[in-house]
Chains A and B, each alone.
Chain A
């Protein structure tokens, strides 16, 4: 009897311990690796150079650069080598992971004071860390340079402004272009670049290719239909801008209060466009999508940032000269990636010196040449660059009155966008049931908008 009771207690204890262990064994937080987690890029100084009089001193220093775009790493490494010519005591490590992994790494590394000396991300994402005093203030001279007339687009300055102050030195931006295969356009008898969503949709019908069994083998327009994170909603947002609306609108402007706008009639019409394209079989979830599809000729049109130009040059060189880009007709989202220094970083002054160095026109242009991302400065002469790289015209030449939207400066925006993305993916998958039912689409979008507004309310930012 006693033994049985003991066994019972032992069994219960074992169950609790197993459960405790199990609940600890799920998703581990992102690694909090210190500055050492990196791919070394230290270089030797060219012979004869001496340490310039600067904030980096003469003692050996290693600056760790952390980013969320691995394709830009070569540009940082090149910049490090150039910087080392005048600062031979400074070595660099450059470490980038995919963006979501990088964000998760930052969320643990910044509070635990183990992040790199230079971290690159948007001011909006880092606003929570700014609130906690985890990031260094921008030195006055850089702040003045950022604010200088014509140095940066006003939207870039706005995107870097948080609580009436500028944070971070803008390094590159992520504008959108419409990519289209010029050979496919010619074969389909399309003579002009797409000038509206209606054009894109009409072209999709002409460009889609199906095999004898009716299976789509090349989509007419590769929409963003799936994937984790907020990207699906971001693509919807860019298209919504072409219809004059946005995801959430500040009402009244400057009030800091927001309300969902994507459930407007324009939003419903846009969603209807997605449904129609899927219903008509001009795109499908089962075919490869996005840049990969364009590079492998599984789609003829899609929207994406400028980095794809560089990727095409390396992974699909045969496509070079057979495609073009054009600016979205009405406007775009402008996100600015900026360089920050953690408040407790070692060698802060040297890190800021390097950041100043990255503002130089040569470094800015090199960043675009190497990675395809657009440099942030507006006052850099583009003539030579565009002559050598005409494919960038869709990103650097915009129509008059082009509207640039920046990420709303509210910390919960990522949650809003991510949750909307999840709903959109489900909604697109249900296209068969939604086709020809505008009321059902309206009800769907209104339901999602209620969730968005609830999140805004919970954070004290609702303005409806």
Chain B
């Protein structure tokens, strides 16, 4: 059957509805194309040039920017850090969100549930800069709350912001805390949309609470879970603000900069004026996220099948 055969059979009234819908969407589509698609396409073009920020295209360099990047230690370090960060943040924030959502959607209901939802969601509402400034104090080696808390259990103080490895862990903790509320809300909505009848049927068959959650709720929640994973992965690969702010106080408080891709491309483009080089870096980032997203979508289709 021709792919459009089904469309040909659509009644005129439905066609008119569709046309109206597309007409309403058109301004947004134009804006999206102008503000998002066009600049992204332009970044592809720039990546093949030696292109200064305040100079027009100087020289076509083909794939030179791409090959140079692969041997640029700053880029490879940033890529590694970003990947570790993205995987850790995604895994922890999704697992925590699932646990919280399960409790709040199924166990704690009513006003208490609503209040807890609000509390967990609150970090999402606060802009990243003030949040990071607050966490910088929490992570402070000498008078930070976190080290004081760990001290109660006899754990020695951790140099969260000055140790190269712990600085990355600190960014992950902060980001998981910021992200988990958003993921939780999406998952709660997904869980509440699952008809209770499935779980009740499983309970009648003798399934325990864990078995019902593992074998009934989670499979039915898979599309929502994967959406949350995709969104968190994309957001995590674009990490920038928390890294920038945690190391921004050069006048006194110790703060180690964790190199990540967006910071590196930002620095190459806006500090070293190498827009062509930074664009190639952005294209790599685009491709990485695209591949990961496609894999996740494929997984989504597989799980649906």
Q: In the complex, A4 Cα to B254 Cα: how many Å?
A: 55
6 closest A-B pairs by CB: A292-B252, A227-B250, A285-B162, A22-B234, A26-B238, A286-B141
Q: Which of A2, A7, A107 contacts B270 (CB 8 A)?
A: A107
Chain B residues near A134 (CB-CB < 8 A)? 54
B55 an interface residue at 8 Å Cβ cutoff? yes
Interface segment among A13-21, A39-47, A364-372, A437-445: the answer is: A13-21
Is the Cβ of A20 less than 8 Å from the Cβ of B301?
no
Interface segment among A48-56, A163-171, A176-184, A415-423: the answer is: A415-423
* Chain A, range 390-432, C-beta contacts under 8 Å to B: 411-412, 414-415, 418-419, 422, 425-426, 429
Chain B residues near A129 (CB-CB < 8 A)? 54
B88 an interface residue at 8 Å Cβ cutoff? no
Closest Cβ–Cβ distance, residue A401 to chain B (whole Å): 32
Q: In the complex, A422 Cα to B164 Cα: how many Å?
A: 12
Chain B residues near A111 (CB-CB < 8 A)? 53-54
Interface segment among B106-114, B200-208, B260-268: the answer is: B260-268
Chain B residues near A26 (CB-CB < 8 A)? 238, 240, 262, 266, 285
Closest Cβ–Cβ distance, residue B160 to chain A (whole Å): 9
Binary flags per residue of A89-112, CB closer than 8 Å to B gives 1, else 0: 000000000101001100110110
Chain B residues near A326 (CB-CB < 8 A)? none
B148 an interface residue at 8 Å Cβ cutoff? no
A155 an interface residue at 8 Å Cβ cutoff? no
Closest Cβ–Cβ distance, residue A369 to chain B (whole Å): 21
Is the Cβ of B251 less than 8 Å from the Cβ of A132?
no
Q: Which of A14, A30, A292 contacts B253 (CB 8 A)?
A: A292
Q: In the complex, A293 Cα to B254 Cα: how many Å?
A: 11
Chain B residues near A11 (CB-CB < 8 A)? 297, 300-301
B52 an interface residue at 8 Å Cβ cutoff? yes
Q: Which of A12, A23, A228 contacts B297 (CB 8 A)?
A: A12
Interface segment among B17-25, B36-44, B187-195: the answer is: B36-44
Q: In the complex, A372 Cα to B16 Cα: how many Å?
A: 71
- Given A22-B234, A134-B54, 14 more A-B residue pairs with CB atoms under 8 Å apart are A103-B271, A104-B270, A107-B273, A111-B53, A128-B54, A226-B256, A226-B257, A228-B250, A228-B255, A286-B159, A286-B162, A287-B254, A290-B252, A425-B256
Chain B residues near A60 (CB-CB < 8 A)? none
Q: Which residues of B are at the interface with A, using a C-beta cutoff of 8 A? A: 1, 3, 6, 35-37, 39-40, 43, 52-55, 74, 141-142, 157, 159, 162-164, 230, 234-235, 237-238, 240, 244, 247-257, 259, 262-263, 265-267, 269-273, 282, 285-286, 289-290, 293-294, 297, 300-301
Chain A residues near B37 (CB-CB < 8 A)? 20
Is the Cβ of A15 less than 8 Å from the Cβ of B290?
yes
Chain B residues near A24 (CB-CB < 8 A)? 35-36, 39-40
Q: Which residues of A are at the interface with B, using a C-beta cutoff of 8 A? A: 2, 5-8, 11-12, 14-16, 18-27, 29-30, 98, 100, 103-104, 107-108, 110-111, 128-129, 131-132, 134, 225-229, 231, 285-293, 411-412, 414-415, 418-419, 422, 425-426, 429
* 29 residue pairs from A and B, CB less than 8 Å apart: A5-B3, A8-B301, A14-B297, A18-B293, A22-B234, A22-B235, A22-B238, A22-B289, A23-B286, A23-B289, A24-B36, A26-B238, A27-B266, A129-B54, A132-B54, A226-B254, A227-B255, A228-B247, A285-B162, A286-B162, A286-B254, A292-B251, A292-B252, A412-B272, A418-B267, A422-B74, A422-B259, A425-B256, A429-B164
Is the Cβ of B74 less than 8 Å from the Cβ of A291?
no
Q: In the complex, A426 Cα to B269 Cα: how many Å?
A: 23
Chain A residues near B282 (CB-CB < 8 A)? 23
- Among B54, B142, B247, B249: residue with most chain A CB under 10 A: B54
Given the known inter-chain contacts A12-B297, A19-B293, please indicate yes or no for A25 contacting B271, CB distance below 8 A: no
Q: In the complex, A16 Cα to B290 Cα: how many Å?
A: 6
Chain B residues near A411 (CB-CB < 8 A)? 273
Q: In the complex, A426 Cα to B52 Cα: how many Å?
A: 29
Closest Cβ–Cβ distance, residue A8 to chain B (whole Å): 7
Q: In the complex, A219 Cα to B285 Cα: how many Å?
A: 42
Q: Which of A8, A22, A290, A425 contacts B251 (CB 8 A)?
A: A290
Is the Cβ of A228 less than 8 Å from the Cβ of B248?
yes
Q: In the complex, A450 Cα to B163 Cα: how many Å?
A: 26
Q: Which of B3, B39, B162 contacts A226 (CB 8 A)?
A: B162
Is the Cβ of B247 less than 8 Å from the Cβ of A226?
yes
- Among A11, A19, A104, A286: residue with most chain B CB under 10 A: A19
Chain B residues near A425 (CB-CB < 8 A)? 256-257
Given the known inter-chain contacts A11-B297, A231-B250, please indicate yes or no for A128 contacting B55, CB distance below 8 A: yes
- Residue on B with the closest CB to A295? B252
Q: Which of B267, B271, B285 contacts A23 (CB 8 A)?
A: B285
- Residue on B with the closest CB to A7? B301
Q: In the complex, A16 Cα to B289 Cα: how many Å?
A: 9
Closest Cβ–Cβ distance, residue A196 to chain B (whole Å): 26
Q: Which of B6, B234, B247, B285 contacts A227 (CB 8 A)?
A: B247
Is the Cβ of B272 less than 8 Å from the Cβ of A414?
yes
Given the known inter-chain contacts A24-B39, A25-B238, A285-B162, please indicate yes or no for A226 contacting B255, CB distance below 8 A: yes
Closest Cβ–Cβ distance, residue A417 to chain B (whole Å): 11
Chain B residues near A103 (CB-CB < 8 A)? 271
Is the Cβ of B293 less than 8 Å from the Cβ of A15?
yes
- Among A14, A18, A292: residue with most chain B CB under 10 A: A18
Closest Cβ–Cβ distance, residue B119 to chain A (whole Å): 27
Given the known inter-chain contacts A16-B290, A22-B234, A22-B235, please indicate yes or no for A30 contacting B270, CB distance below 8 A: yes
- Residue on B with the closest CB to A15? B293
- Among A20, A22, A104: residue with most chain B CB under 10 A: A22
Is the Cβ of A19 less than 8 Å from the Cβ of B250?
no
Given the known inter-chain contacts A288-B142, A290-B252, A415-B272, please indicate yes or no for A19 contacting B297, CB distance below 8 A: no
Given the known inter-chain contacts A19-B286, A107-B54, please indicate yes or no for A422 contacting B254, CB distance below 8 A: no
Q: Which of A2, A287, A426 contacts B142 (CB 8 A)?
A: A287
Given the known inter-chain contacts A226-B162, A422-B259, A425-B257, please indicate yes or no for A288 contacting B271, CB distance below 8 A: no
Q: In the complex, A225 Cα to B159 Cα: how many Å?
A: 14
Is the Cβ of B289 less than 8 Å from the Cβ of A19?
yes
Chain A residues near B240 (CB-CB < 8 A)? 26-27
- Among A15, A18, A27, A414: residue with most chain B CB under 10 A: A27
Is the Cβ of B55 less than 8 Å from the Cβ of A293?
no
